[in-house]
Amino acid sequence: MLEKKHLEFREKIRAFALEQIEPLANTLDTEQRFHTEHMKPLTEMGLLSMLIPEEYGGKPTDTITYSIAVEEASRVCGSTGITLAAHNSLGTFPILKFGTEEQKKRYLPRAANGELIAFGLSEPDAGSDAGGTKTHAHRDGDNWIINGSKCWITSATKAFATIATARTSDNPEDRTITSFILEKDWEGYAVGKKENKLGLRGSDTAFLHFDDLKCPVTNQLGKEGEGFKQMLITLDGGRISIGAMALGLGQGAFDCAVKYAAERVQFGKPIAYNQAIQHRLADMATELEAARLMIYEASRMKDAGQPFSHYSAMAKLYASEVARRAAESTLTILGSVGYLTGKYPAERIWRDVKLCEIGEGTSEIQRLVIARHLLKQVQKT
């Protein structure tokens, strides 16, 4: 499925990740600090502008290449991987897909130049039920006045702008939801306290609060009332990148496990000679490879313009569960040393990877999306 250009890109990005990203991964996790040092090299490598056309300053690639980038970055540092995934798939994509020419010219060159864009969909009472948005916007002349809060916002403290949804109807039963591009510098836009997370501690996650935030109508994204569907379309692509992130983390765990098993001697021979260890390694490698193929297929379908909503849900579901199992098996193979912080990446990966079964739709929501698709097929026949 991969072409020569993909294989060459993988080699290049793998070397880049080992040289530029990996050396800081443990420090960022331990200190719970955003990977500011990575931003310049990531920008120069074009990794923050992979979906942006050249006319807006980007270095556009196909989705398989983009998935490889997220996979390889996540293989050495999950926090950097999620920054890439959130900025490209959730931050820049909606502007590209639904934005006006003026909005593209205003925001995409800055995004391509390494300034992050965040995505504000979730709220305390609207998580899996993303259409239950309580954030409200009402029209006041040429502005929308927005009030409400968004939570679990990746890169919230760093992003100069956020794509956010709000209810634009006064009827609480009515799901008229509209999207907006909101800028951090505007009065009424506040970033909450950084969350203290189990994993991905080098990525900043926080609340956003909008208090009578005045948003010019020119910053409405697409048509009024289409915000929820726009965000579901955006998540279809985002789920491929979270799958790629899971895959990278799982592969990072596997790399650690196989090396350790070959080196660690017990009872006079490397533990890799034991069938119990071999079976674990074989299962990990097989499952990771299957997940990889699903992620590439979802990427191909997206680029080919085929319906891929159910397939990206399948790829994300499978990759995140496989990666969690790989991280768990790696800890088992490493035993006590795996349980230590910092010596091996195993426990960091184990903490990081859980997010892939939660973010951009839980595994339960992926199953719901897949099942609805299957039932629709039956109803059609």
Residue nearest to ligand COS (CB): 361
Separation in Å, CA 187 to CA 145, 150, 184, 275: 11, 16, 8, 63
Give yes or no for residue 204 binding ligand COS (CB under 6 A): no
Distances 241 to 68, 169, 233 between C-alpha atoms, Å: 9, 32, 14
DSSP state of 195: P
Q: Are 199 and 169 in contact (CB under 8 A)?
A: no
Footprint (CB under 6 A) of ligand COS, residues 127-186: 128-131
CB of 254 to ligand COS, least distance (A): 26
Of 287, 347, 357, 360, which is the active-site residue?
Answer: 360
Q: Cβ closer to ligand COS: 73 or 313?
A: 313
> What is the Cα–Cα distance from 273 to 49, expressed in whole angstroms?
45
Q: Is there binding between residue 36 and ligand COS (CB under 6 A)?
A: no
Q: Say how far apart CA 118 and CA 254 lie, in whole Å.
A: 31
What residues numbered 48-107 form the site for ligand COS, per CB under 6 A? 90
Q: Which of 119, 189, 260, 318 binds ligand COS (CB under 6 A)?
A: 119
Residue 229 interacts with ligand COS (CB under 6 A)? yes
Q: Distance between CA atoms of 36 and 278, rounded to whole angstroms?
A: 40
Indicate if 360 belongs to the active site.
Answer: yes
Closer to ligand COS by CB, 14 or 184: give it: 184
Q: How many residues bind ligand COS (CB under 6 A)?
A: 20
Q: Which amino acid is at 36?
A: T
Pick one of 122, 251, 299, 330: the residue that binds ligand COS (CB under 6 A).
Answer: 122
- State in angstroms the smallest separation of the CB of 175 from ligand COS: 8
In the complex with ligand COS, which residue's Cβ is closer, 293 or 371? 371
Between 109 and 131, CB nearer to ligand COS: 131
- Burial status of residue 169 (CB atoms within 10 A of its CB: 0-12, 13-18, 19 or more): middle
| Window 233 to 292, contacts with ligand COS (CB under 6 A) | 233, 235-236
Of the pair 30, 128, the CB lying nearest ligand COS is at 128
Query: What token pair was written down for 201?
Result: 């501690």
| C-beta of 164 vs 272, nearer to ligand COS | 164
Binding of ligand COS at residue 294 (CB under 6 A)?
Answer: no
**360 touching ligand COS, by CB under 6 A:** yes
Regarding 118 and contact with ligand COS (CB under 6 A), the answer is no
> What's the first-to-final CA gap in the chain, in angstroms?
31
Q: Determine the Cα–Cα distance for residues 54 and 195; give it in Å rounded to an integer.
A: 36
Residue 326: exposure state from Cβ atoms within 10 A (0-12, 13-18, ≥19): buried
Region near ligand COS per CB under 6 A, out of 8-16, 133-141, 347-355, 363-371: 363-371
Q: How far is the CB of 267 from ligand COS (least distance, A)?
A: 47
Q: Where are the beta strands (DSSP E) in 90-248?
A: 117-120, 136-140, 143-154, 161-167, 177-183, 189-194, 205-216, 220-221
Q: How deeply is 323 buried, as exposed, middle or buried, from its count of CB atoms within 10 A (0-12, 13-18, 19+)?
A: buried
Smallest separation, CB 240 to ligand COS (Å): 13
Q: Which residues are catalytic?
A: 360
Where do contacts with ligand COS occur on this chain (CB under 6 A)?
90, 119, 121-122, 128-131, 229, 232-233, 235-236, 309, 359-361, 365, 368-369
